[in-house]
Structure formats: C-alpha cells, structure tokens
Structure 1
Amino acid sequence: MKRLPLIVLSCLTILTACRQPQMPDTGRYTYSDMPLPNTKPALMISENWKKYNTPPQTIYIIDDHRFITLESYDNCSGETWYNDTKSGVRTRVGHTSPNGFLGKLIIDDQTGMNVVVPTVTTGSCGDRGCMNYAAYSTDGGKTFAWMRYDESNITFDSQKNSKDYTFLITSDRLYVVEGRESRAYVAYYPLVPGINLGKPYPPGIRGGSFNLSADPELLTSHRTPSGQDHYICDTSILPTNGD
C-alpha cells in the first residue's frame, strides 16, 4: 500500500472517525504490563499524565471490529487503546506518539489473538542513543507486554530510522523487518499464548532470523484486512485544555 499524500490522509482520518464502530463500555478496562524500569518514560502507563479533552482518533484499523485509538492526546501524543467491539475488549496499551513511528504495520492474524503496537522514542536520545519498544498481545488484546525490537542497533533519531522497519504479525509469529528490498534483515519471534519474549522460550518454541532475499514474497503475501499499513493521526485536532 503506497503512502498517501498528507491531505488525503487527513481526509481519511476524518472519514474513519465517522465510520468507526462504537467503542464498548464494558467496564473491563485492562491496563497492560509496564515496560522494564529503565525504559523511556514515554512508554510507561501512568495516572500522572495530563488528561486532554480531545476526541478519540482511530489511528489504525485491523478490520470491522478491531482497531487502535489515540485518546486524551495533545499533538498526537497520548493514550493508545486497543479495541475489539466483537469480544468487548478495550485495553489501554500505553502513552505513545503514533506519528513518531513512520514504518509499516501489517496485522494479518485471522485468529484475532495476536496484536503488536510498535512505538518509538520521540524525545532526545542523548549520547547513548535511544531504545525502542513494541507492545504485544497473544490473548486477543486483553493484556500487553513490551519488547525491545532494536537491540542490535544504536539510533540517535528513532523517528527517521523507523521508516526502515516493517512489523508483520501472523497467527504464530511476529516478523520485524529492518531495511528495504533485498538488503532487508528479518528477525522473527514466536507468538504463542502466554509467551514472554524477554525470557528464554519454552521447549520446542523458537525464533530466528534471515535475509529477506531468502523469502522475497514474505511481505507481499500478507496484508491487514482493512488494507491499512501505517498509523494515521491528524495533528490539527488539539485540546482546548492544553498547556
């Protein structure tokens, strides 16, 4: 899916909001696992974040009942929620800036169990560089955990470098593709119920890596049911109770 011009994206955002399914009010608001203590504060879930009166924006649509929203935000930085109107799941993933991740996200898991929300550090990286994380769920979005996906690289501009990443989620794996065309490198992780990607895998469960040239049709053979492959957020929508 080719990236659309900014004006078209803004229109698409507005149209999306109009046809967005009504978010369930089930009272089952589940807070996902926090990242490790030394991760960037922007990824943390905290009650100390200021609450803004901006209307929810749908930033990513999986299908007709699964979608990701940004809520209580300023300049497209705020609370990210996963919503499934069919199962009644509504989970706050964390405090993120979806416009910061400029790569692709393809969720092609027909079981509906696996969801991944990649993020980037949008602030200053300092002398040691930034660490970038993705939230993942293997239970249909009821709970999320965090993994660092750029451990092999040191970046001082996470937003710019995120253009080189593609996340592909299938019924049993997460593929993190770094680079473009035949020079791209693929790391894959097992997505099975209850997996902790930060610890040794259970017996018989494995991850791995390969060059994309070994499977050149990996990305072209998968697509999100909605056809969307990147986040969309309209920066012109601002709170009236901002700073």
Structure 2
Amino acid sequence: MSDENKKSGISKGAKILCIIAAVLTGLGVLASVLISMLPTVGGSFGFGFPSGSGGRAIRDVEIDVEPQVVYRIDDHRFFTLEKYLDCNNGGFVYYNDTNKKIKMLAGYEGADKRPQNEVTTMQKNDVLALNGKFIYAASDNVIAYPTRDVSYKYGNATYYIAYKNISDPSKNTKFEVSPSSYRTNIVTDDAIYVQVSNATENYKKYPTPKKNG
C-alpha cells in the first residue's frame, strides 16, 4: 500500500472515531438532562414518588364545581357534596337545613378550611365510604351521618354513625357500625338501630346519652 493510501485510511479512521465520540458525548448529555428531570425519593433509593426527599412538593388543588345533593331527608333537609373530584373521592359533605338556616360540615370541624391537594382529592370521602344503607328517621333537632376513622399506616378503617343533638350537645356521640353493604343503620331521635347480621330483623339498639340534669 502506498503512503498516500495509508494517509487516506488513517484520516478516514480518525473521522469515524471523532463522529463516534461526538455521538457518545451527546447521548451522555441527554441522559444527564433526563435523569435530572426525574423525581427522587432520596440519594440512595433512586427514582421514586414525588413525596419523598428531593422530589417536587405535593400541590394544592382548588376545585370549583356545583354542589351535588347526595342524600335527601325531606323537603328542607339534605346533604350536599362540594369541592369534589368525583362522586366518591375528595370533597366535603355538608348537612343543610333550609328552615333553620343551618349548613354544617359533616366531619371534623375546620377540615374544610384546609386546602385539598393531589393526594386528598384521590382519597375516598369518609362520609360516602359506608357501603351499607343509612336511614334518617330523626327530627330536625338531630344531625347524624356516617363517617370513619382511617389508619393509613395500618391500612384499615373503623366506621361510625356520628350523632349530634342541636339543643343538647352533651348528647353528642358516635356508634360503631359495619361497612358491609348488606347492613342497614337507622337513626332516630333517641337511638340508633344497627343491623348486626344479614338477617333483616336482627338489629341492636344503641340509645343516645340521656339529657344532663
């Protein structure tokens, strides 16, 4: 092979190596950019969910929708679902009495003053979580609704009927019930009747606390 051909071959080889090096460098830069955009839970755990250290913060969510009546007691008493993502998740349930001009959150007082976020809007609404039948047979002096206490740490929940007496708050209480869709819970002025088995006639009566004094 002549010296001229050798030089030409070396030149072509050098160009190919330069092109390969440029491509590899470009891929390296692109990979670095993509990795920097992924949320991380921590330096030693790699890629994960945004709630961990180093990830983006969970964003607050403002939902503006028309209130929806989810349970009607009579012509002037009803429950509405507001600021909801869908009919089961997120939002707040309110008891309404148009005669007495009452609108009260069904749940912990002040819970609706805190903003919802990307997580809470996807969680099942505590008042709407009960699968069983709820029958409201109490007067307008009583406010009652199903609710639950959730342990997200252990993954379980305890279901209740919350009972509030407008004229005598000392009678306020709650009664544990089954979440089964085959059970019926009946609220009256003086007691709550809880179906304790799938037999329709098998109810247990839980009297409300007696009036003070």
With normalisation by structure 1, the TM-score equals: 0.46
User: Aligned partner of 1:62: which letter?
Assistant: I
Rg comparison, structure with higher value: 2
Question: C-alpha offsets along residues 198-221 of structure 1, whole Å, 9 cap, x if unaligned?
Answer: xxxx68xxxxxxxxxxxxxxxxxx
After TM superposition, where is structure 1 displaced by more than 3 Å over at least 4 residues in a row? Answer: 48-51, 95-99, 120-125, 142-146, 182-185
Q: Give the 3-state SS of the residue equivalent to 1:101 in structure 2.
A: coil
Equivalent pair of 2:191/2:205 in contact (CA under 8 Å): no
Distance (Å, rounded) in 1 between the aligned partners of 2:137 and 2:64: 33
Question: C-alpha offsets along residues 20-56 of structure 1, whole Å, 9 cap, x if unaligned?
Answer: xxxxxxxxxxxxxxxxxxxxxxxxxxxx984411210
Q: Give the 3-state SS of the residue equivalent to 1:162 in structure 2.
A: coil
How far did 1:133 drift?
A: 2.8
Distance (Å, rounded) in 2 between the aligned partners of 1:49 and 1:165: 37
Change in CA separation of 1:49 and 1:102 when aligned onto 2, cut-off 3 Å: farther
Matched, 1:84 2:85: no
How far did 1:162 drift?
A: 3.0
Matched, 1:106 2:117: no
User: Aligned partner of 1:81: which letter?
Assistant: Y
Q: 1:65 aligns with which of 60, 71, 76?
A: 76
Distance (Å, rounded) in 1 between the aligned partners of 2:71 and 2:190: 21
Matched, 1:173 2:191: yes
Equivalent pair of 2:127/2:145 in contact (CA under 8 Å): no
Distance (Å, rounded) in 1 between the aligned partners of 2:153 and 2:202: 24
Question: For residue 126 of structure 1, what is the aligned residue in structure 2?
Answer: 154
User: Aligned partner of 2:67: which letter?
Assistant: P
User: Aligned partner of 2:192: which letter?
Assistant: L
How far did 1:124 drift?
A: 5.7
Equivalent pair of 1:100/1:122 in contact (CA under 8 Å): no
Count of matched residue pairs: 137
Question: C-alpha offsets along residues 179-209 of structure 1, whole Å, 9 cap, x if unaligned?
Answer: 222573414131656xxxxxxxx68xxxxxx
Question: For residue 49 of structure 2, what is the aligned residue in structure 1?
Answer: none
Question: For residue 138 of structure 1, what is the aligned residue in structure 2?
Answer: 165
Distance (Å, rounded) in 2 between the aligned partners of 1:120 and 1:184: 23
User: Aligned partner of 2:129: which letter?
Assistant: G
* Larger CA deviation: 76-85 vs 163-172: 163-172
With normalisation by structure 2, the TM-score equals: 0.51
Equivalent pair of 2:81/2:93 in contact (CA under 8 Å): yes
